[in-house]
Structure 1
Amino acid sequence: MPAEQINWDNLRLFLSVARAQSAQEAARRLGLDHSTVTRRLHRLEKELGAQLFERTPAGHVLTTAGHRLLEHVERMESSMVLVGEDIGGDSHTLTGHVRLGATEGFGSFFLAPHLSHFCERHPAIQVELLIVPRFINLSQREADLAVNVERPQGNGQVCSRLTDYRLRLYASRRYLDSHPPILQTRDLGAHRFFGYVEELVFSPALRYLAAIAPDAPTPLRSTSVVAQYHAVREGRGLAVLPCFMAAQSEELMPVLAHEIDLLRTFWIAAPGDRRELARVRALWDYLREVVACNRPLLLGEPGAWRSVQ
């Protein structure tokens, strides 16, 4: 079909359904009736002469033709956004929304407080912080940029080392005062631990408990490091935690800090076309700025929390 005969509004609707994986959810986001969305999807498929979605009980799944169209439409979307930023280049006010994906502990304990300052610096930018205990799928446009514990391998992404961070073994003061002393690693077998649900750990970088205390009882396991943090604060066991999390509780104390010292890396990544958007670049640069200012905190060294206005 000639390009001039394609209804561009229907392509925008197609993009929304592809990202939501649901016509009903796309209709809600667009402020349209569900019947209107499905009718216009059928019209687009008829115009293109191809089925774009498989309608399943779980939602709308892209067909091979749908995936090909999605690539074209996303490039069109990015080009139009860049055109808008270029034409409006005389204005120094950055606008729009940016979705940032992050791991749970880093997103909740480090990024969220700093992002409040970023929003004050750029009041016309709306930030959406997506915190999940898994990898963010940038190829499926789950976010505009993401911070992960492994270097992303996807094609078409801009990736950089954001910062190293340290983890140590922690217990509460109450726990240490009421249980046998821990003087060396072999003493750990007599203590209880909180850790991850082993089969649901999303990265080998998080499988450290088995190497530290393989035979120690683990009465509570969770997919959430924040849940482990709160469990340790209750004084019922030990857990390996990022130093930047543990530092926010005066109750938590490092255990065998010289023997148990784990270093990991956070990576920042964005799809190549999204990385060029001014608002995404602004957030990318801000994150690099705040981790540089808080390097001692992230590495478990003496140093106070520093905000960046």
Structure 2
Amino acid sequence: MNSIDWDGFRYFIAAAETGSLSAAAKLLDSNQPTIGRQIDALEAALEIKLFQRHAKGLTLTQEGAYILQQSQSMRSLVVKATRTMQEKKEDISGSVKIAIPEGLCIEILLPELSKFYQQHPSINLILNVSPNTANLTSGEADIAIRLFRPDNANLVVTHIGDMEMGLYASKSYSQAHDRIDKLSDLKHHAVILYGDTLSALPENQWLEKQISASRCILRSDNTTTRLKATKLGLGISIQPQLFSIRNNDLQRLIKDAVIPGHEIWLVYHQDLRNTQRVRAVVTFIHSTLRAFL
């Protein structure tokens, strides 16, 4: 056991959870040969085969599945021990990792950060705006804003409010095109939809039913892209109502349209409940988002 490089387990877990060396390399900001060497060394030290390698990626062996379970438990213990030690620090300082949807980050959170830093200049925020759901148990984030209610018993979950959605166009678009008084009018207008990854979301499905497919001029999973395209007058899109507060050039259309919305949940691991810097960030995020709902 003395010959085992414990860092090899980190590479092994990443490869097992992502299913390939290339995906693990991307997750760990490494490269495929390094991941492969680390796993080969771990297999040699343990004297077992962890993976079956094939063209489509990696498949755990029976022994590999057992080692993965134990490795994940070890990772959770390390994360918990780190958090426990951090709680012992009395000063409100250090890093806090936040996983938050891109639109809420750029349109709502970022413009308010100067106020936060005036109160807490020693806290360093790390913003993760990836569309992937961050794993709070493994330490990928300390705090997350999610548009669904998590069911993990180890998480502290708070419902911030409901995010109402609306139909929006820029003032320039409205001035240059026919009036939109009812839903059937949408069939005659250019529309911006979600991309393939988000196309199944209820609000996008609702909009697709209202429009003529030939009038869809742009699809994107990127929230900022859709908002920017709308502000530039390219077409009509669905946007969270709270975005219009900071974007005065947006006009809401057909205000009585009933569009599926989202719940906003603030989430953090229960191990961080008494960590002062996390509590400070939680309070700030909660009050900031509530003010716009």
Question: So what's the TM-score if we normalise by structure 1?
Answer: 0.73
Counterpart contact for 1:136–1:143, Cα < 8 Å: yes
Q: Give 1:1-309 correspondences, 5 Å limit.
A: 10-12=5-7, 14-15=9-10, 18-19=13-14, 22=24, 34=34, 38=37, 45=43, 48=46, 50-51=48-49, 63-86=64-87, 88-89=88-89, 91-95=90-94, 97-138=95-136, 141-154=139-152, 156-198=154-196, 200-201=198-199, 203-204=201-202, 206-211=204-209, 213-215=210-212, 217-260=215-258, 262-274=260-272, 277-292=275-290, 294=291, 297-298=292-293
Residue 76 of structure 1 deviates from its aligned partner by: 2.4
Residue 124 of structure 1 deviates from its aligned partner by: 3.3
**In 1: Cα distance, 2:26 partner to 2:231 partner:** 42
> 5+ residue gaps in structure 1?
299-309
Counterpart contact for 2:92–2:276, Cα < 8 Å: no
Counterpart contact for 1:171–1:252, Cα < 8 Å: yes
The share of aligned pairs that are identical, in percent, is 23
> 5+ residue gaps in structure 2?
16-22
For residues 77-125 of structure 1, what are the alpha-carbon distances to aligned partners after superposition, in whole Å with 9 as ceiling and x for unaligned?
Answer: 2342244235x44x32332x22211222112211223345434433333
Structure 1 residues 51 and 245, CA gap change in structure 2 (3 angstroms):
farther
**In 2: Cα distance, 1:263 partner to 1:225 partner:** 15
**In 1: Cα distance, 2:51 partner to 2:283 partner:** 38
Whichever residue aligns with residue 75 of structure 1, its letter is S
Deviates more, 1:164-173 or 1:51-60: 51-60
SS in 2 for 1:219: strand
Residue 129 of structure 1 deviates from its aligned partner by: 1.0
Residue 244 of structure 1 deviates from its aligned partner by: 2.1
Structure 1 residues 66 and 99, CA gap change in structure 2 (3 angstroms):
farther
**In 2: Cα distance, 1:274 partner to 1:203 partner:** 32
**In 2: Cα distance, 1:122 partner to 1:156 partner:** 27
Residue 42 of structure 1 deviates from its aligned partner by: 5.6
Structure 1 residues 84 and 198, CA gap change in structure 2 (3 angstroms):
closer
Deviates more, 1:187-196 or 1:154-163: 154-163
**In 2: Cα distance, 1:118 partner to 1:17 partner:** 39
Whichever residue aligns with residue 183 of structure 1, its letter is D
RMSD: 3.7
Deviates more, 1:65-74 or 1:230-239: 65-74
**In 1: Cα distance, 2:277 partner to 2:169 partner:** 41
Say how many residue pairs are matched: 281
**In 1: Cα distance, 2:274 partner to 2:50 partner:** 29
Counterpart contact for 1:133–1:202, Cα < 8 Å: no
Aligned residue number for residue 302 of structure 1: none
Aligned residue number for residue 306 of structure 1: none
Counterpart contact for 1:118–1:286, Cα < 8 Å: yes
**In 2: Cα distance, 1:116 partner to 1:12 partner:** 38
Residue 137 of structure 1 deviates from its aligned partner by: 4.3
Counterpart contact for 1:167–1:261, Cα < 8 Å: yes
SS in 2 for 1:237: coil
**In 2: Cα distance, 1:67 partner to 1:275 partner:** 28
Whichever residue aligns with residue 6 of structure 2, its letter is L
Question: So what's the TM-score if we normalise by structure 2?
Answer: 0.76
Residue 48 of structure 1 deviates from its aligned partner by: 4.9
Residue 226 of structure 1 deviates from its aligned partner by: 1.5
Residue 75 of structure 1 deviates from its aligned partner by: 2.9
